[in-house]
Amino acid sequence: MTEKPTILVTGYGAWAVAENNPAAQVAARLAQEEFECCNLVTAELDVDTNALQDNVNYLLDEHQPDGWIGLGVSRSAVIKPEMVGINWRHFGVPDATGARLQATPIVENGPAAYNATLPCAEMVENLRANHIPAMLSFSAGTHLCNQLIYVLGHTTKTRGIPLKSGFVHIPQSPENIAEKCGVSDGFASMDLAISTRAVRICVQVLAAELAA
């Protein structure tokens, strides 16, 4: 690849678990930065299970990215690049539209799973080298975070699009935890500045792989 790769970072927006979602906040912060390693594009995704496929198709056509890092929030204390997305939607919490699917395939008769194609292990290695807690994850749950991995894998395969794609979970923000004090006692959080630095590192690792 002779030109700088285009990398798309998407952050999920408001829903029941995070009305002010740190995933969207981190994506918005990165949109204000200049990256020498890539052309960075960011977008906020609705937490809408039934609109996700159309939104993915639109962003692929609009930006034609070489890489896609999806962002979402988790209860974990660490940054977690996700390794795999499975073909199930099973919601303990409704999406932003109120949909609460149970044991429903993402793609009827689709493959059981798609592996993420991001350099997840290298991301974790670089994050730890920069003193940011991180670990590989082999379960992205059964909500829209998992769904995005699967939809990206299925869409790029069926459309023949060369794309490095996957998902990174970031912790809740301290502000969100503070607002729910007493309701979410013991939940972990990470300052938005650190989460932003972590995703910046993930972008740089992905850009290096794409350039190679």
Which residues are identified as catalytic?
A: 82, 145, 169
- Given the DSSP bridges, would you call strands 84-86 and 67-74 parallel, antiparallel or unpaired? unpaired
Distance, in Å, from the CA atom of 201 to the CA atom of 130, rounded to the nearest integer, reads 9
CA 174, 93, 169, 13: dihedral to nearest 10 degrees?
-70
Q: Which of 50, 204, 72, 37 is nearest to 149 (CA)?
A: 72
